Amino acid sequence: MIIDMDIRHSFASTSSYAQHYARRCGRAVDEALHSTQAYQAWRKFDAGPRSSVFSRLAALSALTKHDLRTHGPQGFVPHGRDIAEGLAAGEIELVATSGTTGDQVTNVWYQPWWNASEAASWQLNAHARGAATGEHREAILTSPWCTGFPCEDGLLTMEQRTMGRFLYLSERSDPSCWTISMMDRMADELRRFRPAVLEANPSFLARLSRHIVHRQLPVYSPALIILTYENPSVLHLRQIRRAFESPVASSYGSTEAGYVFMECQAGWMHQVTEACHVDFLPFAPEHGGPEVGRILVTTFDNPWRSLVRFDTGDVVRLDGRKPCPCGRHAGLTLTSVEGRTANLTLTPEGRAVTQGAVDLALGDVTGLVEYQLLQTGPTAYNLRFVAEGASPRLVAGEACEVMQAVYGPAAVITAAALEAIAPDPPGKYRLAKSLAPVNADALLDDRFAPRMY
């Protein structure tokens, strides 16, 4: 028997899509392969227009941040458009992502495309459809280094942090250093500004929420809270819901790929099929597959950047083919974004554990309000945590017990109580990580792994 090891399977062919969707995918692939310099080396693997577009995509490589840096922004501009001319005409800007130095990418920023992708994401949530018009007032609580007005010494006035319909609530990137008066000011400004939408880093808003509850401050609840920039922890969500009456929805995307998934009012994450295609690469069964895996994003109709099978570095969990109560079924549906590949840890036996699995296990520990789990060796794990309203010793005991259940009897788990946990630059919490990075390529089911060349 001859086994063709080169057949790569695609999850996408079993999903449901609107009629024009496959055509848009085909256009994105053709534009990349035939009109965009960076994809020249991919052409020889194209199965051609007689194959289904999902098979064509599955036969191609994955696009990494390393590729984006190698070819530079001009390498991904289709049809010979010139970045210098676009910049001179004021049509586009160049924006560097705020990753670590080795991770930074310069992106061509074309605002109309970004706005269209954001507006498409709002259609997937009933509350967002009502509250977000594109003209609505919006308060933003995130690291000012991601968006806003950074000022790490001294304070800025409300006017200095307001731009049109947007109010940036914090000029500081480290919530562990926020003072009582700064958080009082944020709650007060929310009451005065009365935004329709509050967009926030979940860890930042959780810090403010604990303060509001602790001080029994009067609170203004906007029509919708959208969580973005980070993966919300079960703990963060609970703290936010204790302070605000607003519905909460998680929005998932990236500077490179735009808006990719949006949480509906029933709590599931739906693919923004108007803006992008998503290929799902399941992990091998011993690592949580086929329901857990990685994603590659192909964007539609950005005249200034052709992005095909871009590896966002995230790990997601599929819906298990159960229909969402909201009735949407187009594209991929997720029960959760499980964190980034950089947040993966391994059991002593070498099985992958996602940040989401760690978070779910720690979610019910009484008195635990913040944590960071660090794998320091093949069998060694250290949990740094913040406790409130419970003895740190009791919190440590219960937390270590649930972590032992996750990592198994061979794991050596230690815990240390802290006053606060600071985010990593530029202002994102890492709930779990390993000192020795996990090779996320080695976790994939071979049949779906992208071609390497």
Q: Which tokens belong to 88?
A: 């001179």
Q: Which is nearer to Zn ion, 33 or 332 (CB)?
A: 332
Closest listed residue to residue 130, CA positions, set 261, 224, 14: 224
Q: Which of 60, 68, 264, 443 is close enough to bind Zn ion by CB under 5 A?
A: 264
Q: Which is nearer to Zn ion, 21 or 268 (CB)?
A: 268
Q: Which stretch binds Zn ion (CB under 5 A): 143-151, 204-212, 232-240, 257-265?
A: 257-265
Cβ partners under 8 Å of residue 432, min gap 6: 339, 343, 344, 345, 353, 355, 358, 359, 372, 373, 374, 375
Note whether 332 binds Zn ion by CB under 5 A.
no
- Write down the least CB distance from residue 322 to Zn ion, Å: 11
Contact call for residues 191 and 212 (beta carbons, < 8 A)? no
Q: Are strands 224-227 and 248-254 parallel, antiparallel or unpaired?
A: parallel
> Using the 8-state DSSP alphabet, how is residue 347 labeled?
-
Q: Give bridge partners of residue 281 from the DSSP assignment.
A: 294
CB atoms within 10 A of CB 420: 13
Burial class (CB in 10 A: 0-12, 13-18, 19+), 22: middle
Note whether 266 binds Zn ion by CB under 5 A.
yes
Binding mask 279-318 for Zn ion (x = CB under 5 A): ----------------------------------------
> Using the 8-state DSSP alphabet, how is residue 63 labeled?
B
- Write down the least CB distance from residue 265 to Zn ion, Å: 7
- Write down the least CB distance from residue 295 to Zn ion, Å: 18
Q: Which of 140, 315, 324, 361 is close enough to bind Zn ion by CB under 5 A?
A: 324
> Using the 8-state DSSP alphabet, how is residue 306 labeled?
-
Contact call for residues 450 and 45 (beta carbons, < 8 A)? no
* Size, binding site for Zn ion by CB under 5 A: 6
- Write down the least CB distance from residue 319 to Zn ion, Å: 9
| CA–CA separation, 273 and 125 (whole Å) | 14
Count helices and strands in the chain by DSSP H and E runs:
11, 20
Q: Which stretch binds Zn ion (CB under 5 A): 41-49, 75-83, 264-272, 417-425?
A: 264-272
- Write down the least CB distance from residue 308 to Zn ion, Å: 27
Q: Which is nearer to Zn ion, 285 or 325 (CB)?
A: 325
Q: Which is nearer to Zn ion, 126 or 418 (CB)?
A: 126
| CA–CA separation, 253 and 266 (whole Å) | 19
Question: Can you tell me whether residue 382 is helix, strand or coil?
Answer: strand
Q: Which stretch binds Zn ion (CB under 5 A): 128-136, 149-157, 262-270, 392-400?
A: 262-270
Q: Which is nearer to Zn ion, 186 or 316 (CB)?
A: 316
Q: Which stretch binds Zn ion (CB under 5 A): 107-115, 198-206, 218-226, 268-276?
A: 268-276
Note whether 32 binds Zn ion by CB under 5 A.
no
| CA–CA separation, 276 and 117 (whole Å) | 9
- Write down the least CB distance from residue 171 to Zn ion, Å: 36
Note whether 326 binds Zn ion by CB under 5 A.
yes
Tell me how many degrees the CA angle 224-226-231 measures, rounded to the nearest 5: 150
Q: Which is nearer to Zn ion, 294 or 328 (CB)?
A: 328
Q: Which stretch binds Zn ion (CB under 5 A): 33-41, 78-86, 263-271, 285-293?
A: 263-271
Residues that bind Zn ion (CB under 5 A): 264, 266, 268, 324, 326, 328
